[in-house]
Amino acid sequence: MGMEQVVLLPAIPAAIFVVLALFSALLPRRGDWLAILGMAVVVVLALAVAFHFQDFFALGEFAPGGENAYAFDWLNLGNGTFQIDFSTYVDAITVVMLIVVSVVALMVMIYSVGYMHGEPRYGWYFAALSLFVAAMLTLVTAGNLMILYFAWEAVGLASFLLIGFYWERRSAAEAAKKAFLTTRIGDVGLLIGIILLWREAGTFDIQEIIHFAEAGGFDEKYLTIAMLFLFMGAVGKSAQFPLHVWLPDAMEGPTPVSALIHAATMVVAGVYLVARMLPVFDVVLVARDVVLYTGLITAFMAATMGLVANDIKRVLAYSTVSQLGFMFVALGLGSPTAAMFHLFTHAFFKALLFLGSGSVIHATHQQEVEHLGGLWRKQPITTWTFVIGSLALAGMIPLAGFWSKDEILHAAKDNLPVFIVLATTAGLTAIYSTRLVMLTFFGEPRDRHAYEHAHESPPIMTLPLLFLAGCAAVAGFVVYDGVGKALGFAGGIGKLIYGHEPETFHFDRDLATFALAVAGAGIGLGVIYWWGRAERATRARSWAPELHALLVNRYYIDDLYQTLINRVVLGAAAVVAIFDKRVVNETGVDGGAQTIGWLGLRLKFLQTGRIPNYALAMVGGIVTLSLVAFYTS
């Protein structure tokens, strides 16, 4: 498959979206098979792209930076003055994203057949998922920042539609709105950043911008500002502090959607964007430091919030935010390989965890951990796959998360403060993931009713779980050259991602031992603490009530924003609205009309109807005009 045909990848789900959105009611099974079939084709094509790419690499023909393929001019004003061409760009980062997006999307769609069975708007659900996949694939193959922005907004729209899938629920409608508006704030920055880059470089083409920046074409201050604006987009989409507030609420969407969009793919778009533009960030290190510290703050904060959340999906949402923070830290340290590697492994184990939680919710209709417990007897497959995902998240050897987290810690080892925060967060990760597993699957059932009715999910749901559990177990091994070669990726993940300057995997025995010790301590602590009876689950909050309240209330950030919106934004709006009504309208327009009316009322008395009055006025006029004429001539 040539690179010119990459544009087919998004075209297939896009076509399926149109068909399903318009005609799903006419199709058997509302067309779910069509969406899945299309997705399977996309997986095959994505693998074909990967192998083709690898051929190039192996033969030594691989051009540094990847392959640009021009598709068509979308817009061309004044012969290139303002030009947007629909071009695709494929390099190792794209390949990783293509595999992640297509494989996880396929699993989620298969799982959804079971999970969404009997839901109203079943056809629309698959249509919206296809729209999302089309937009996401466009995003990762775009060779042009404007096309990327296009897709960026389109994935946001799909996310909005799917979070609000159960729109009859007020909370879902509000969550969809919050997600859209919060990410929109980031998108304002992204668009400004893109236009600022265009203003100097004169092009939207990503590679040309990178070359322009590397050649020193930008003023440094200007570029810093532009890149910070660009980064705002990533902060919004990837739910980083301070725009992280929408992601936990986004859990109102159907669980498979959370797995696909709000764990594995869309939320990593920000990571992808920064990784894609990293050569430009490398030119202005101030901006790269902002990426680093944003990621660090987010990773830590979100992990602490994950410790106390009670909704099984919310714990996973905080975990996602925290893990995305890890990826940004890696990017901020200038190690895109580590970031993309973690993105790759995280996609599998987090999708697995979400689908596992969906299986629990499907069986018990409960998602508060306080009402769960002891499910391992009822749901063995869900439990053990969930445990695998959870251990991978905690960073247990030899599961996928261990390798990629170790890589990020390795990148941070020269920066002690960052390293300490990361290691602490890794410990917290182990604790909260263990807490979640213990409370959900082990111990005494706390809600007998939910427990009695629980059952293992049908195979159409457990098979994706098993597949993803397999991925979560082995995805980390691609770091080894041998494994990479066997899979067709000569040189493993390091060379795959940064082929032109091979970055080999750094396996440091001491560091790995330390990381394992932290993870093991966290897991051990979690198991010991939450093992056993129900009251343990709730006892934690009495240990430090203020701290617990702070964390449960998410550091009061959501409340702060709500107050700001209510008081400041709507307050300003009220002032402007009143100004418009009273000053512009009643004083300016109506007032003007009334003044004329009033003048008419008064001045009509000049119209006396008496000839002498008019004669006098006439004489006065003649005299005045004569004087004017006399003095001006």
Partner 1 sequence: MSPNDAYLMLATFLIPLGTAVLLMLVPSKERSAIIGITALASFAMFVIALYLFVNYDFEGPQFQGVKAWTWMENAGVLGERGIQLKVGMDGIAAPMVLLTGIVIMPGTWVSWKLHHRTKDFFILLYLLVAGVFGTFVMLDLFFFFLLYETAVLPMYLLIAVWGSTRKEYGAMKLMMMLVAASILIFTAIFAIFTEAGLGTFDLPSLFAADYDPRMQKIFFPMIAIGCGTLGGMFPFHGWSPDGHASAPTAVSMLHAGVLMKLGAFGIIRLGFQILPEGAAFWAPALIFIGITAALYGAISALRQTDLKLMTGFSSVSHMGYVFLGLGTLNVVGMTGAVLQMFAHGVMTALFFLLIGGMYDQAHNRDIPNFSGMAKQMPIWAIFFILAGLASLGLPGLSGFVAELHIFVGVFRAYPIVGGLAVLTAAITATYLLRMFAAAFFGEFNPRWSHLHEITWAERAGAAVLAIAILTLGLWPSPWVDRISTTLAQTIPGVAL
Residue 600 in the binding site for partner 1 (CB under 8 A): no
Other Cβ atoms within 10 Å of 154 Cβ, number: 19
Site string for partner 1, 67-86 (x = CB under 8 A): ------xxxxxx--xx----
Least Å distance between CB 516 and partner 1?
45
Q: Determine contact, residues 560/553, Cβ cutoff 8 Å.
A: no
Per the listing, tokens 């533009």 go with 277
Q: Determine contact, residues 388/352, Cβ cutoff 8 Å.
A: yes
Of 286 and 584, which CB lies nearer to partner 1 in the complex structure?
Answer: 584
Q: Determine contact, residues 547/541, Cβ cutoff 8 Å.
A: no
Of 104 and 245, which CB lies nearer to partner 1 in the complex structure?
Answer: 245
Peptide bond into 398 cis (omega under 30): yes
CA atoms within 13 A on the CB side of 535: 1
DSSP state of 25: G
Selected from 98, 176, 316, 450, the binder of partner 1 by CB under 8 A is: 176
| Binding residue count for partner 1, defined by CB under 8 A | 50
Least Å distance between CB 117 and partner 1?
22
Touching partner 1, residues 180-209 (CB under 8 A) = 180-181, 184-185, 187-188, 191-192, 195-196, 198-199
Site string for partner 1, 156-175 (x = CB under 8 A): -x------x--xxxx-xxx-
Touching partner 1, residues 96-125 (CB under 8 A) = none
Of 549 and 596, which CB lies nearer to partner 1 in the complex structure?
Answer: 596
Residue 563 in the binding site for partner 1 (CB under 8 A): no
Q: Which residues pair with 84 in a beta bridge?
A: 75
Site string for partner 1, 313-352 (x = CB under 8 A): ----------------------------------------
Binding segment for partner 1 among 179-187, 282-290, 339-347, 427-435 (CB under 8 A)? 179-187
Residue 517 in the binding site for partner 1 (CB under 8 A): no
Binding segment for partner 1 among 25-33, 148-156, 501-509, 534-542 (CB under 8 A)? 148-156
Residue 594 in the binding site for partner 1 (CB under 8 A): no
Least Å distance between CB 190 and partner 1?
10
Selected from 119, 214, 559, 580, the binder of partner 1 by CB under 8 A is: 580
- Name the residue among 407, 387, 393, 394 with its Cα closest to residue 349: 393
Per the listing, tokens 């001006």 go with 632
Residue 521 in the binding site for partner 1 (CB under 8 A): no
The 3-state secondary structure of 341-402 reads HHHHHHHHHHHHHHHHHHHHHHHHCCCEHHHCCCHHHCCHHHHHHHHHHHHHHHCCCCCHHH
Selected from 584, 599, 618, 619, the binder of partner 1 by CB under 8 A is: 584
Return the amino acid letter for 84: I
Q: In the chain, how many H helices and how many E strands? A: 29, 2
Of 167 and 507, which CB lies nearer to partner 1 in the complex structure?
Answer: 167
Selected from 589, 599, 622, 623, the binder of partner 1 by CB under 8 A is: 589
Of 121 and 548, which CB lies nearer to partner 1 in the complex structure?
Answer: 121
Binding segment for partner 1 among 111-119, 329-337, 469-477, 571-579 (CB under 8 A)? 571-579
Residue 566 in the binding site for partner 1 (CB under 8 A): no
564-590 in b/e burial notation, b at 16+ Cβ within 10 A? eeeeeeeeeeeeeeeeeeeeeeeeeee
* 3-state class (DSSP) for residue 218: coil
Residue 576 in the binding site for partner 1 (CB under 8 A): yes
Residue 617 in the binding site for partner 1 (CB under 8 A): no
Give the separation between CA 492 and CA 487, rounded to whole angstroms.
9
Binding segment for partner 1 among 44-52, 144-152, 396-404, 430-438 (CB under 8 A)? 144-152
Strand 82-90 to strand 67-77: parallel, antiparallel, or no bridges (unpaired)? antiparallel
Selected from 517, 593, 616, 618, the binder of partner 1 by CB under 8 A is: 593
Give the separation between CA 47 and CA 41, rounded to whole angstroms.
10
Per the listing, tokens 């390293």 go with 419
Residues 6+ apart with CB under 8 A from 84: 73, 74, 75, 76, 144, 146, 147, 204
Burial class of residue 242 in the structure, from the number of CB atoms within 10 Å of its CB (0-12 exposed, 13-18 middle, 19+ buried): middle
Binding segment for partner 1 among 259-267, 344-352, 529-537, 584-592 (CB under 8 A)? 584-592
- Name the residue among 550, 411, 568 with its Cα closest to residue 494: 411
Of 136 and 329, which CB lies nearer to partner 1 in the complex structure?
Answer: 136
Of 420 and 584, which CB lies nearer to partner 1 in the complex structure?
Answer: 584
Residue 452 in the binding site for partner 1 (CB under 8 A): no
3-state helix, strand, coil in the chain (%, to 5): 80, 5, 15
Return the amino acid letter for 282: D
Of 156 and 356, which CB lies nearer to partner 1 in the complex structure?
Answer: 156
Touching partner 1, residues 121-140 (CB under 8 A) = none
Q: Which residues pair with 311 in a beta bridge?
A: 368
Residues that bind partner 1 (CB under 8 A): 73-78, 81-82, 146, 149-150, 153-154, 157, 164, 167-170, 172-174, 176-177, 180-181, 184-185, 187-188, 191-192, 195-196, 198-199, 569-570, 572-574, 576-577, 580, 584-585, 588-590, 593
